C-alpha cells in the first residue's frame, strides 16, 4: 500500500489566489481527517469525514476554507481566497473502523506545505 497520498507537497501562491490540496486515503479506510500545523498553534484538527460524510467541521477556521469528499478515494481542502496567515503544513490522515479503537489509529500523509505570500 502506498499509504496516504497528498498533493501538492509544496505550494507557493500569492494572497487572494485559490488553493486546492488533495488527498487519497488508504484503500478500505472509511475515515479521513484534515489537520493543519503551524509553529504557533501546533497540530489542529480542521475537519473529518466518516464514510464520505463530514462529521465535525468545527475546526475549519472560516468560510474561506471548504473540504469535500466526493468518494471514498479522494478528498480536497480548498482555501479561497488564500491569506498569508494560512501558511502552514496541511496533513491528511485516514483510518478504518467506526467507533472502535481502530478509528483512532490514523495513518498520516507526508503533508502539503503551503506558503501564501
Partner 1 sequence: DAKTTQPPSMDCAEGRAANLPCNHSTISGNEYVYWYRQIHSQGPQYIIHGLKNNETNEMASLIITEDRKSSTLILPHATLRDTAVYYCIGTGRRALTFGSGTRLQVQP
* 33 near partner 1, rule: CB under 8 A: yes
71 binds partner 1 (CB under 8 A): no
Name, in order, each residue with C-beta under 8 angstroms of 13's C-beta and a sequence gap of 6 or more: 19, 82, 114, 115, 116, 117
Tell me how many residues contact partner 1 (CB under 8 A). Answer: 22
Taking CB under 8 A as the rule, does residue 105 contact partner 1?
A: yes
Does 20 bind partner 1 (CB under 8 A)? Our answer is no
Are the C-beta atoms of residues 91 and 38 closer than 8 Å to each other?
no
Are 69 and 25 in contact by the 8 Å Cβ rule? The answer is: no
Nearest to 53 by CA among 35, 75, 38: 75
State the minimum distance, in angstroms, from the CB of residue 18 to partner 1.
24
In whole angstroms, the minimum distance from the beta carbon of 5 to partner 1 comes to 12
Q: Applying CB under 8 A, does 106 fall inside the site for partner 1?
A: yes
Taking CB under 8 A as the rule, does residue 25 contact partner 1?
no
Taking a C-beta distance cutoff of 8 angstroms, is the pair 36, 44 a contact? yes
Cell of 5: 497520498
Contact residues: partner 1, CB under 8 A: 4, 31, 33, 35, 42-43, 45, 48, 55-56, 89, 91, 93, 101, 104-111
Amino acid at each position: 500500500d502506498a499509504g496516504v497520498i497528498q498533493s501538492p507537497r509544496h505550494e507557493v501562491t500569492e494572497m487572494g489566489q485559490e488553493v486546492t490540496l488533495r488527498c487519497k486515503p488508504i484503500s478500505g479506510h472509511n475515515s479521513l481527517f484534515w489537520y493543519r500545523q503551524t509553529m504557533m498553534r501546533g497540530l489542529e484538527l480542521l475537519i473529518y469525514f466518516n464514510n464520505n460524510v463530514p462529521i465535525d467541521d468545527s475546526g475549519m477556521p472560516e468560510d474561506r476554507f471548504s473540504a469535500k469528499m466526493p468518494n471514498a478515494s479522494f478528498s480536497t481542502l480548498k482555501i479561497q481566497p488564500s491569506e498569508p496567515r494560512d501558511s502552514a503544513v496541511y496533513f491528511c490522515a485516514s483510518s478504518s473502523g467506526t467507533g472502535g479503537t481502530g478509528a483512532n489509529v490514523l495513518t498520516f500523509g507526508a503533508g502539503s506545505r503551503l506558503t501564501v505570500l
